[in-house]
Amino acid sequence: MNILVVGSGGREHALCWAIEASPLCDRLYCAPGNAGIAAVAECLPVAADDVEGLVVLASEKAIDFVVVGPEQPLVLGLVDRLAAAGVKAFGPSASAAALEGSKSFMKGLCARYGIPTARYATFTDAEAAKAHVRAEGAPIVVKADGLAAGKGVVVAAGVEEAEAAIDAALLEGSFGEAGAEIIVEECMTGPELSFFVLADGETVLPLAGAQDHKRAYDNDEGPNTGGMGAFSPSPLLTDALRRRVMAEIIEPTVAAMKAEGAPFKGVLYAGLMLTPDGPKLLEYNVRFGDPECQALMVRLKSDILPALIASADGALSTVDLRWRDEAAIVVVMASKGYPGAYRKGTPIKGLKKAGETGATIFHAGTASTDDGGIVATGGRVLGVTALGATLGEARDAAYRAVDAIDWPEGFCRRDIAAAALSAARAEEGA
């Protein structure tokens, strides 16, 4: 098969890395890709949000199957356009992608079908939103309704911070059209968990659990980011909790989408808060998480490609995925200044040495130079990923590889999975 992966981040590098190993894959392309992806796929200069360009590309390259990585082309209807052109693709239709593309749609679905989530209200008027915040008090959460690259959420500790977030979205246009409507919701408390399933419109296949780290700096300080690290499996995801999440959140959602005339096919990523009242839905993403995908792909023993095809074909009931017992850790290296302003074009050295430690280095924002070097072109730049017999061993291996990389303009968190390890040690000592 000729396979096209759409996207240019660490998630897409991990997907290409896994798909290239499949005996079903004859030719692998990625649009637009990056310097790391170029080692396993032919990169083609078509942007991930260029829907018409990607449809033309699929025809020109006689693509048999398209795997859409990021959310933007899904929300724009890439899967629909490919289907109209006779090209099979992995990912939801535009109507189903509204689960991520519109938080008000997702919240409304939860309200109609009794899916547990935070109490909320939607607003387009800043003064009305601020009056609601003053009535509710803080802490409180303000979210842009649309896609904001993981940066449209403010967890406000005080009323003034919440009002500033409201002004930024509704009056100052900080998030463009994505912030023309906002969600103001209660601030839930508890550990967060990433829960992934494949769906084919009816059947749901749960994947391994993972946890990520959203804040930019150690000890969960600093602004929210697209993700600074992840680990899998999550000690939080017990068999009992998995069954409860499937029964109370995932399966009702997939059934609801079918009932709404927008059956969900693809990967459904539930961001969960494990509250004292049980698991509740924070948000849905309609694609693999980044960097969680990197951890999942290195732990997956099965061929990923048949599962992706079965999702598109409505045949997931025939799929059984097997996972490695080892734990995986991903440490994201980002450009200094991220998620704010940062320099582009800074050189990265030591990648070969880092790879010799046994880690897998997934690229996100990188490009090659004429002399064969690698430079940073984005905010999140590398996903240093390692396996270990235990979470602690995987963590040590990942940071050994990080320390082998010579990139003065980069930074990373040094506490990925540290809290989970501390909790595990405390439980052992109890």
Which domains are seen in the chain, by residue range? 2-91 (3.40.50.20), 125-180 (3.30.1490.20), 192-318 (3.30.470.20), 327-429 (3.90.600.10)
Give the per-residue pLDDT at 132.
94
Query: Is there a contact between 317 and 204 (Cβ–Cβ < 8 Å)?
Result: no
CB contact set of 182 (below 8 Å; sequence gap of 6+): 122, 123, 124, 129, 142, 143, 144, 145, 166, 169, 170
pLDDT tens series, the chain, 430 aa: 999 999 999 999 999 999 999 999 999 999 999 999 999 999 999 999 999 999 999 999 999 999 999 999 999 999 999 999 999 999 999 999 999 999 999 999 999 999 999 999 999 999 999 999 999 999 999 999 888 766 688 889 999 999 999 999 999 888 888 889 999 999 999 988 999 999 999 999 999 999 999 999 999 999 888 899 999 999 999 999 999 999 999 999 999 999 999 999 999 999 999 999 999 999 999 999 999 999 999 999 999 999 999 999 999 999 999 999 999 999 999 999 999 999 999 999 999 999 999 999 999 999 999 998 999 999 999 999 999 999 999 999 999 999 999 999 999 999 999 998 887 776 665 4
Give the per-residue pLDDT at 154.
87
Give the per-residue pLDDT at 403.
98
Give the per-residue pLDDT at 430.
47
Give the per-residue pLDDT at 152.
81
pTM of the model: 0.94
